[in-house]
Amino acid sequence: MKYDLLVIGGGPGGYPAAIRASQLGMSVALVEQRRLGGECTNYGCIPTKSLIWPVSMLHSISRLGFVKMSYEVDFGGLMSWAEEVKSKISESLESLLRKYGVEIYEGRAKLGEVVEVEGGPSLRGEKVLLAMGTEPAGLPGLEVDGALVHDNRSILSLRRKPSRVLIVGAGYIGVEYAALFAKLGSEVHLVEALEKPLATMDEDFSRLVTRRLSKLGVKLYFSTSVREVERRERYLKVGLTSGVSVEVDIALVAVGRRPNSAGAERLGVRTDTRGYVEVDGTMRTSNPNVFAAGDLAGPPLLAHKAFAQALVAAENAAGRKSYYEPKVVPSVVYFDPELVSVGLTEAEARRAGYEVSVAKLPIGGVARAVIEDSVDGFVKLVYESGSKALLGIHMAGPHVSELAGEASLAIEMGATLEDLALTIHPHPTISEALQEAAELALGKPKHYYKK
Amino acid sequence: MEVRLPDIGEGLTEGEIVEWLVKEGDKVKQFQPLVKVLTAKATVEIPSPYEGTVVKLLAKPGDVVKVGQAIAVIEKEGAGLVEERHEERRELVRAPPRVRKLARELGVDLAKVKGTGPGGTITEADVMRAAEEARKPEAKPPPPAEKPSDREERVPLRGIKRLMALKMAEAKAKVPHAYIAEEVDFTELVKLRESLKEEAERRGVKLTLLAFIVKAAAKALKSYPLMNASLDEARGEIVIKKYYNIGIAVDVEDGLVVPNVKEADKKGLFQIAREIQELAQKAREGRLSLEEVSNGTFSITNIGSIGTVFGMAVINYPEAAILGVHKVQELPRVVDGEIKPRKVGILSLSFDHRFIEGAYATRFLLHLKRLLENPVLIMAPEEEFQ
C-alpha cells in the first residue's frame, strides 16, 4: 500500500499532521501501536487534568471555614472518570481522522524503506512523518512492575487509593501527582536529586512549589536519591541517600523521558546524542523525504509544541513552505496554584544578551484571587529595558493556565508593557494581574502601593 | 584582527581601494596610514587601528569595499586604542507570527528589515518591501566584452571617473534640471582686476575673475536663499543653508572634483583667490581632504577658461544650482547708442526645478549680473543691498 504521507504515531505530533495533509489533498495513512491521542491523551495531559480538576475543586471548597463538608473520593470512580474522559477524546479523534479519509493501522510499525505494521500490511509513503514520541525513562533499581512501582502510564490503572506514595522526580509530573495524592489524603514522599523542584523553571516557581507542598503535608527530600529498594508483597521499603527509609504502598517514577527513535536510522535519519531526531525549521530530518514532529524531534516535550510542528511537517510534505519558528512555547504546570511560563526567564534573557528589566506583582493584588481564596502567587514580567517589549511572562495563581494564551500572543505580537497596560482587562478576573503587572512596571500600579 | 573600512563620515557607504601603503609582512604602528581609499568625495588615508604586523591584505586596488567590510588582517601587538567592539548586545526583532511566516515564504531576513510599525514592529508591508528590493537584480558582472579588437580599447571605469559617473547619473536621475543664461558685461570687472593685479601679485596671489565671481555669488545667494538650499526628499523639506561654501569644479587628470571655498561670504577677495588656487593645486595632486570636498552649498564651473561660449552644467547634487562661467571675449556691443568693444561672456545657471521657479532663478542671475557689471557693489557692505 502506498500513500502520499505515512504518519508513524497517533499522538499530538502525528494526528494533526494526518489531518492537515488530508486537507491539502494527500492520501494519508497513520500507524498507532496503542491508542490514538498518544501520551497526551492517554497518559498525560488529559487523564491527569481529569484527576486534578475534581480533587482540586473539592479541596479548595472544603478549606473554606463556612463549608460544613468533609469529602471522600471514590478512588476507583475517580480513575474511571479519567478513563472515560480519555476514551471520549481518543474516540472523537478516531472519527475525525476517518472523516478526513485517513487510513488508520493499529500495530507496532517496524521502520524501513517499507514500513511493516505488526500483524498488518506493509506500507510505503512518498513522504514519512515520524512521531513516535517519548516514553518514561526508567530508574535502575526501581523498575516499573505495574503493581508496586509505576510510571505515568501504569499509575492510571490503579483502582485502590494508595495510603502511602513515594514519588521520585519533582518535575511537573512529580509535583502534580504529589499535590493530587496529598489532597486525596495519602501520605506523600517526594524525592528529587536536584536541590529544588521544577529546577528548569524560574526560581520563584521552585520556592512557591516547595512552600505549597509543605503546606499540603508532603514530605520533601531534595538533593536526595533512592539508594535501595526492598519489594515486599504489598509494600515497598525504600532507603534514601539521606539515610531516611520510607515504607510506601506504591512508588511513581517520574524522572524524565527518552525518545522512541529506535529504527529511525533505517530511514537514513540522524539522531542526536540523546536519541532525539534532528530536524530543521521545516521539520525535515536528514532524509529530505522524512519528517519528524513532537517529542521525537526534541524538547520541549509538550503537546501544543507537537501540534505546531505536526502542521509544519504536513505542509512541507505537501510541498508548501512552512516553518516552525515560534518565539515562545508556553508551559503550564497544573499545580495548586497553576503555574505558567511563557518566553524567557530573567536569567535566560540576560544570557541571550538582552538588556532586561523585571516587574513582579503578587497575585493577591487582584480581587479575583481574594474571592477564590488563592492569593499565593505572582505575575512576573521580563522585558527589554529600552523598548519595553515583553520577553517573558511567568505566572502562578488560580486559572493562570487560561492566561498562557494571552501571554503567548502578547510576546508573539511584540507587545510592550504599554500595550498590556492600555488593554482593558475585565474586572474581577485573574487576567487583571497581567495588566496590573505592566502598570507596576511602568510605575503606575492602581491597586498596589509602590514606594 | 581584521581591519574594517571605517565609517569615515558624510554618510559614505563604500570606497575604492586606490593604493596600499603597506604590504603583507610589514610591521605597522598604530595610526600609521595603511591604505588610500577613494570615497565618493575624496581620497582618504585609512590609519591602522593597532600596532602589529600586516598578515593579509583582503582587497586590491580598484576594489570597491563597503563600510564595515574587512580590508586587511593585522596581527595585534599590544593593546590598540580602538577596543574591539563585541556586538553581543542583542535587540529584539519584533514581528508578529504572520509577518514572520511571510518573511520565511519570501526569504526575507527579518534582522535586516527596519520595522515601521508601532515601536519598530516589522509589518507585512516592510517584509514585502524588503522582498521587492531583494528581487531587484544584483549588479551582476556584465557579460564578457565582445572579442577584443584592435579597433576598440576598453578602459576600466575606476577612481574619480567612476565616481563622476555615479554622481552625474544620480544628479540627472533625481533632479529635474532647468536652465537659464544671461550675457554679462565684464568690462568693468576686468578693469578692476587689472588695477588690483599688482597688489595681488605682491601678496603672492593670482587674482582671477573667478575669485570675484565666487565673492559675488556668495553675496547674491544671501538675497536668494533657495539657491543655497537642498531638498530633503525623505522628509519633504527644503533645507535652507545659512552658510555659503562655494564649490569650484576642477578638471583633474581623469575626471572632475569639486572642492569648496568655505564661508566664502565672510572672506576677502584675496583670501578667496588664494584658496581657489590652493584647492585647485591640491585637486590636481589628489591631496584634497574629505572636509574640502564636503558640505558645499553652491557650485561654479569655470568652463570658459578653456573656451566654450555656452554650456549647460549638471548640478552638483544635492545642491540647488550650479553656475556656468563661459568664455569672456571682446565683442562689439552697443553702449549709450554707440558700438563699443566690450568684454562679454555668458553666465549659465542650471537649477533644481523641484523647488526653484524659473522667475526666481532669473532674478538671482540678474542680481548676480548686476554685481559683476558694477563690481564696486561686490565690495560694498551687505546692508546696502537690502
Helix (H, G, I), strand (E, B) or coil at A397: strand
Q: Are residues B105 and B200 in the same domain?
A: no
Q: Which of residues 337-396 of A touch B (CB under 8 A)?
A: 352-355, 384, 387, 389, 391
Would you tell me the crossing angle of helices B269-285 and B187-202 to the nearest 10 degrees?
80
Strand stretches in A9-113, DSSP E: 28-32, 103-106, 109-110
CA distance B284 to chain A (A): 50
Are the beta carbons of A49 and A329 closer than 8 angstroms?
no
**B271-300 per-position pLDDT tens digit:** 999 999 999 999 888 888 888 988 999 999
C-alpha cell at position B5: 573600512
Residue B348 lies in a domain: yes
Are the beta carbons of A248 and A191 closer than 8 angstroms?
no
Distance, in Å, from the CA atom of B253 to the CA atom of B364, rounded to the nearest integer, reads 33
Length of chain B, in residues: 386
Q: Are residues B302 and B377 in the same domain?
A: yes
Q: Are residues B267 and B356 in the same domain?
A: yes
**For chain A, which domains are there?**
2-136+258-317 (3.50.50.60), 149-253 (3.50.50.60), 331-441 (3.30.390.30)
Q: Does A106 touch chain B (CB under 8 A)?
A: no
Residue B300 lies in a domain: yes
Residues of B in contact with A315 (CB under 8 A): none
Q: Letter for the amino acid at B306?
A: I
Quote ipTM for the complex: 0.72
Of B164, B350, B381, the residue nearest B255 (C-alpha)? B164
What percent of chain A is helix, strand and coil (3-state, nearest 5)? 35, 25, 40
Residue B7 lies in a domain: yes
CA distance B25 to chain A (A): 38
**B308-356 per-position pLDDT tens digit:** 899 999 999 999 999 999 999 999 999 999 999 999 999 999 999 999 9
A-B CB pairs within 8 A amount to 42
Of B198, B295, B159, the residue nearest B239 (C-alpha)? B295
Q: Are residues B213 and B302 in the same domain?
A: yes
Predicted pLDDT of residue B138:
63
Q: Are residues B52 and B109 in the same domain?
A: no
The CATH number of the domain holding residue B37 is: 2.40.50.100
C-alpha cell at position B139: 549588479
Task: Give B37's contacts (C-beta < 8 A, 6+ positions apart).
Answer: B5, B8, B15, B16, B17, B18, B43, B44, B45, B46, B65
Q: Does A412 touch chain B (CB under 8 A)?
A: yes
Of B183, B174, B263, the residue nearest B215 (C-alpha)? B263
Tell me whether residues A414 and B119 touch, CB distance under 8 A.
yes
Of B61, B21, B252, B58, the residue nearest B156 (C-alpha)? B61
Distance, in Å, from the CA atom of A279 to the CA atom of A298, rounded to the nearest integer, reads 9
Alpha carbon of B85 to those of A98, A386, B89: distances in Å?
60, 20, 10
Report the C-alpha dihedral over residues A47, A370, A376, A303, rounded to 10 degrees.
30
| Residues of chain A scoring pLDDT < 50 | none
**B219-250 per-position pLDDT tens digit:** 999 999 999 999 998 889 999 999 999 999 99
Helix (H, G, I), strand (E, B) or coil at A342: strand
pLDDT band for position B46 (cuts 50, 70, 90):
confident
Number of neighbours of residue B143 by Cβ within 10 angstroms: 6
Q: Are strands A250-253 and A257-259 parallel, antiparallel or unpaired?
A: unpaired
How much of chain B exceeds pLDDT 90, in percent? 46
Residues of B in contact with A392 (CB under 8 A): none
Tell me whether residues B104 and A323 touch, CB distance under 8 A.
yes
Predicted pLDDT of residue B146:
65
Q: Which of A33-42, A50-59, B33-42, B173-182 has the lowest mean pLDDT?
A: B33-42
The CATH number of the domain holding residue B114 is: 4.10.320.10
Closest chain A residue to B106, measured at CA = A321
Q: Are residues B190 and B326 in the same domain?
A: yes
**B84-114 per-position pLDDT tens digit:** 444 456 777 888 888 988 888 888 888 888 8
Task: Taking residues B3-21, report their average pLDDT.
Answer: 77
Query: Cell 510605575 belongs to which residue?
Result: A443
Number of domains present in the structure of chain B: 3
Of A324, A152, A413, A11, the residue nearest B104 (C-alpha)? A324
Q: Which of residues 95-114 of B touch A (CB under 8 A)?
A: 95-97, 100-101, 104-105
How many helices and strands in chain A, by DSSP H and E? 12, 22
What domain range is B320 assigned to?
Answer: 176-385
C-alpha cell at position A130: 515520524
> Catalytic site residue A150?
no
Residue B163 lies in a domain: no
CA A41 to chain centre: 11
Among candidates A326, A384, A414 on the partner chain, residue whose Cβ is nearest the Cβ of B95:
A414
- Compute the C-alpha angle A167/A173/A175, nearest 5°: 65
Distance, in Å, from the CA atom of A11 to the CA atom of B20, rounded to the nearest integer, reads 65
